[in-house]
């Protein structure tokens, strides 16, 4: 899912609308994940397709024969590609004849080569998973896993907590969206690749991991010890809140998982029976998930046939994903809550509702993950998550590395969290019940670009 799932999910994984059997041959799903990335090398894909029915990759001769059968000119520089593959085989032979600890595992070499090739594209969200890693990643789809329950990724060249899941060990230990991870168990985080960091932070229930954290409003780094646990993810929660004469529905979407669209439909069915005056849609610390979940939920607000999001491919072509079905919430006053942990599919939903004037956004600028990943599972249960496009809001705004700006800037600090204060939710409730009092306290947020244009005028 464009969703570690992110930046990676630092738990023994989760994900979304994938088949019950994750080993479906070359099954492909479109993802919008806040996810981490690992690695690659092209020829290995060809080999993997053919050899995956064997418990181990066979002999050098057999592998070389398979590779040759797949080698065909695909560009004008095919001779150069052949020369590079010749170098590959020279290194392969050196390993098999000169490496001190023989025999070497051919399957490990092939998977590592593929991983290195993917890493060569330089995109943190494109990653190859060997069968064991793929199984862990795909298990996230079903909403139960072991770890600390947080999404991590790279932001401004630093390992960063994207979103601690509500009620998770990460959240209970005090980790916040936007925290920079300086060290993992005392080892400098800069020495880890994103994938290695994720693998180090993940672990079995009952074990601990120590993260050294730098926080914006805290002068000195500090250690956070997190005890890993089994994480159960409820993707949709809701409640009715009575504020004076106003009945306000508060729906929280924690991630866009396999069951999110169905759970959201159940929530609004029950909610509408109670005839709410307004809706607060809480997307804070939601790192993303499957695109179709975001489009489905946006369709409840946006009339059928209207674009929810556009994919923009490398050749400049675009594809629209449009709202479908009934839109029972299109006239219900709605406030979206977001923070720096709102990413990917969350930004698609928030951006669409904002562009169509269906919601006001309160909070801070979202994370800014606006690329599309396609997840393909191969016969041997390995899989490839590859960035294939960028996404644009309905008014053609690019979100990647920019984020969705709020209409009203309201922060929730670490002190607020510790004291169980929620000024963002308080602001949303005030906006609904007393707009005069709200406008007296809060001014519309002017994004940096607009502010610069105003100065120039």
Catalytic residues: 344, 355, 369
* CA separation for the pair 167, 231 (Å, rounded): 9
Beta strand 334-338 pairing with 360-363? parallel
Per-residue three-class SS string for the chain:
CCCCCCCEEEECCCCCCCCCCCCCCCEEEEEECCCCCCCECCHHHHHHHHHCCCCCCCCHHHHHHHHHHHCCCCCCCHHHHHHHHHHHHHHHHHHHHHCCCCCCCHHHHHHHHHHHHHHCCCCCCCEEECHHHHHHHHHHHHCEEEEEEEEEEEECCEEEEEEECCCCHHHHCCCCCCCEEEEECCEEHHHCCHHHHHHHHCCCCCCEEEEEEECCCCCCCEEEEEECEEEECCCEEEEEEEECCEEEEEEEECCECCCHHHHHHHHHHHHHHCCCCEEEEECCCCCCEEHHHHHHHHCCCCCCCCEEEEEEECCCCEEEEECCCCCCCCCCCEEEEECCCCCCHHHHHHHHHHHCCCCEEEECCCCCCCEEEEEEECCCCCEEEEEEEEEECCCCCECCCCCCCCCEECCCCHHHHHCCCCHHHHHHHHHHHCHHHHHHHCCECCCHHHHHHHHHC
Place of tokens 């991630």: 255
> CA neighbours within 13 Å on the CB side: how many for 318?
15
Rg of the chain over Cα atoms, rounded to whole angstroms, equals: 24
Give me 182's structure tokens. Answer: 């300086």
- Asked whether 34 and 367 are in contact (CB, 8 A), the reply is yes
Please name every residue paired with 147 in a beta bridge, in sequence order, or none if there are none: 11, 229
């Amino acid at each position: 899912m464009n969703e570690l799932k992110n930046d990676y999910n630092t738990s023994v994984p989760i994900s979304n609308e994938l088949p019950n059997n994750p080993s479906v041959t070359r099954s492909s799903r479109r993802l919008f994940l806040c996810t981490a990335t690992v690695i690659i090398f092209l020829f290995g894909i060809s080999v993997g397709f053919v050899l995956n029915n064997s418990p181990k990759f066979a002999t050098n001769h057999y592998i070389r024969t398979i590779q040759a059968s797949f080698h065909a000119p695909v560009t004008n520089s095919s001779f150069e590609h052949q020369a590079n593959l010749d170098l590959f085989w020279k290194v392969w032979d050196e390993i098999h004849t000169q490496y001190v600890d023989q025999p070497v595992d051919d399957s490990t070499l092939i998977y590592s080569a593929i991983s290195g090739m993917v890493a060569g594209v330089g995109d943190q969200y494109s990653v190859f998973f060997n069968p064991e890693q793929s199984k862990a990643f795909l298990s996230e789809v079903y909403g139960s896993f072991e770890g600390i329950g947080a999404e991590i990724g790279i932001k401004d060249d630093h390992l960063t907590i994207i979103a601690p899941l509500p009620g998770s060990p990460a959240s209970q230990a005090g980790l916040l969206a936007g925290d920079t991870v300086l060290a993992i168990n005392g080892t400098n985080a800069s020495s880890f690749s994103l994938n290695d960091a994720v693998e180090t932070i993940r672990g079995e229930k009952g074990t601990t991991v120590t993260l050294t954290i730098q926080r914006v409003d805290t002068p000195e780094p500090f250690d956070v010890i997190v005890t890993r646990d089994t994480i159960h993810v409820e993707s949709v929660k809701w409640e009715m809140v009575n504020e004076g004469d106003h009945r306000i529905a508060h729906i929280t979407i924690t991630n866009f998982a396999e069951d999110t669209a169905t759970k959201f439909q159940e929530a609004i069915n029950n909610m509408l029976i109670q005839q709410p005056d307004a809706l607060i849609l809480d997307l804070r610390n939601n790192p993303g998930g499957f695109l179709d979940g975001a489009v489905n939920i946006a369709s409840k607000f946006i009339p059928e046939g209207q674009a929810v999001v556009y994919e923009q491919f490398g050749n400049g072509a675009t594809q629209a994903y449009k709202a479908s079905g009934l839109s029972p919430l299109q006239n219900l006053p709605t406030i979206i809550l977001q923070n720096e942990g709102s990413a990917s599919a969350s930004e698609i939903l928030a951006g669409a509702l904002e562009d169509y004037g269906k919601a006001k956004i309160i909070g801070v600028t979202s994370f800014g993950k606006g690329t599309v990943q396609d997840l393909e599972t191969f016969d041997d249960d390995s899989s490839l998550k590859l960035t294939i496009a960028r996404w644009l809001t309905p008014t053609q705004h690019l979100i990647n590395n920019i984020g969705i700006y709020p209409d009203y800037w309201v922060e929730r600090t670490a002190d607020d969290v510790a004291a169980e204060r929620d000024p963002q939710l308080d602001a949303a409730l005030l906006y609904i019940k007393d707009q005069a009092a709200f406008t007296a306290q809060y001014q519309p947020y002017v994004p940096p670009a607009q502010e610069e244009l105003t100065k120039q005028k």
